[in-house]
Amino acid sequence: MTPATQTASFWERIKATLANGPGAYAFFGLYAAICTWQLFTNPRTSLRTDIVFVLFLLLVFMVYRSATPLWFRGGLIAVLLLVVLPIFGTLNPFYIDVATQAGIFVALALGLNVVVGFAGLLDLGYVAFFAVGAYLWGILSTPQITQINPAWSPVPPIMFYPFVVLGLAIGAVFGILLGLPVLRLRGDYLAIVTLGFGEVIRVLANNLDRPINITNGSQGIREIERPPLILAGFVRDTLGWNLSDSQLYQQFFYFVVLLIVIFTVVVVSRLKNSRIGRAWEAIREDETAAVAQGIPRVRMKLMAFAVGASFAGAMGVVFASKQLFINPPTFDLLRSINILAMVILGGMGSIPGAILGAVIVTLLDLQILPRMAAVLRDAQRAGVPIPAAFDPTQYQRLLFGILLVLMMIFRPQGILPDERRSEELHADDEPPAEETAPPASRPAAESA
């Protein structure tokens, strides 16, 4: 037994315990029961419910990462995400909306992770593909299409489903269009070009309102169509759930986003473990050596851009339909930086890391930081000596920035890094190999 094994950390011993059948089943089962009971008995929006909701999402991730059998992981995650969370969403719509937003950014982070994490191509304009998908559905499903040609009419709402697939294809096409001029660029130069591409798409969306009004400019597009609620009668009449249309749409978009996230995870996982994934890693490690070994650099780079952009295009269609309104500031540079921060925070090249990073950043943006600001404001009103000029709402992004700085200082590889990238980052920490002594001269008898 090696010394490293003997001095296994406390966390490794916990993981080993949870990997065993009865202990893992009892722990996760009890954890799930307590969280479910807390959510169902106290659905009101509050700090306590926020904490329980975060613990609930943490449970889903822990089960996903556990070493328990596949049937147990799949069954428990299905119960939590397909039964518990939707029912809780009917009691408090805020939390299922947060879960839906988190799912949208999980798909975006996984797509960007293909480009940045797998292939090593720094992309600062990723939100452009998200905008393309959103404007595709926004223009064609609303009377905005008549501004382009009065003879044209909006597509029926049922076309939402084909448009999700179309958004996938259009996103891939735009990914290739971005990839073509940057094939020979690396590092900072590539980042600047992709940054410019993102700004070009945003500026076009802001100014394509004349001479032909295509995007309605800075006013944005309103009253974007939603697909018809096909199962509304089944839910109300058969299941007996008297939900409003608004609640049903929240449930609908939650399940659509969940389905796309599952599809994205499966596709990305299969690609990572395939020859294509290994070719991306080779290009990321040393492009010159990869080309020398016969890896088609052009095809692999274009494929990385296309695959990453396709998920953003599909999710853009869903986002536009969910929000009912889009405008150019929705797709600004800060959004791209946020998605990149999700990938870096979770761990570049790591699929679980990208998922965790997206959930953490979304929760910080929508739930945790606003809640902290509300608590500080309440304390301010209660007489706690906090300067009156200090507005906690204005400092939410400051806290987020501090968190990123601390992460980069103390854990630059991310929370759940990819094993190979983690080894790269710590390669310089390893002590240099001792110089080997020159081989001794062979005995005379042996040489004879």
Burial class (CB in 10 A: 0-12, 13-18, 19+), 367: buried
Hey, what are 291's tokens? 């080309």
Q: How many CB atoms lie within 10 A of CB 228?
A: 12
* Cα–Cα distance list, 447 to 382, 438, 444 (Å): 92, 17, 5
424's CB contacts (< 8 A; 6+ apart) are 285
DSSP-assigned beta bridge partners for residue 221? 326
Within its chain, how far is the Cα of 96 from the centroid?
17
What does the alpha-carbon distance between residue 235 and residue 386 come to, in Å, rounded to a whole number? 50
Amino acid letter, 413: Q
What does the alpha-carbon distance between residue 266 and residue 60 come to, in Å, rounded to a whole number? 17
Among residues 110, 100, 157, the alpha carbon closest in space to that of 311 is found at 110
What does the alpha-carbon distance between residue 149 and residue 109 come to, in Å, rounded to a whole number? 36
284-322 pLDDT tens trace: 888 888 888 888 888 888 899 999 999 999 999 999 999
pLDDT in tens, the chain (448 residues): 455 455 556 667 766 766 667 778 888 889 999 999 998 988 888 888 888 998 998 888 888 888 788 888 889 999 999 999 999 988 888 899 999 999 999 999 999 999 988 888 888 888 999 999 999 999 999 999 998 888 888 999 999 999 999 999 999 999 888 888 777 777 778 888 888 888 888 888 889 888 888 888 888 898 898 988 887 777 877 777 788 888 899 999 999 999 999 999 999 999 988 999 899 989 888 888 888 888 888 888 889 999 999 999 999 999 999 999 999 988 888 888 889 889 988 888 889 999 999 998 888 888 888 888 888 888 888 877 777 777 777 777 787 888 888 888 888 888 888 776 666 666 655 555 554 445 544 444 444 3
124-150 pLDDT tens trace: 888 999 999 999 999 999 999 998 888
What does the alpha-carbon distance between residue 343 and residue 121 come to, in Å, rounded to a whole number? 13
Helix axes 47-65, 369-381, angle to 10 degrees: 160
What does the alpha-carbon distance between residue 279 and residue 295 come to, in Å, rounded to a whole number? 7
Hey, what are 47's tokens? 């700090």
With beta carbons less than 8 A apart as the criterion, state whether 350 and 136 touch. Answer: no
With beta carbons less than 8 A apart as the criterion, state whether 129 and 313 touch. Answer: yes
With beta carbons less than 8 A apart as the criterion, state whether 162 and 314 touch. Answer: no
What does the alpha-carbon distance between residue 135 and residue 328 come to, in Å, rounded to a whole number? 10
- How many residues in the chain? 448
With beta carbons less than 8 A apart as the criterion, state whether 108 and 263 touch. Answer: no
pTM of the model: 0.86
Tell me, what's the pLDDT at 441?
47
Tell me, what's the pLDDT at 442?
47
Reduce the DSSP state of residue 221 to 3 states and report it. strand
Tell me, what's the pLDDT at 260?
94
DSSP designation for 326: B
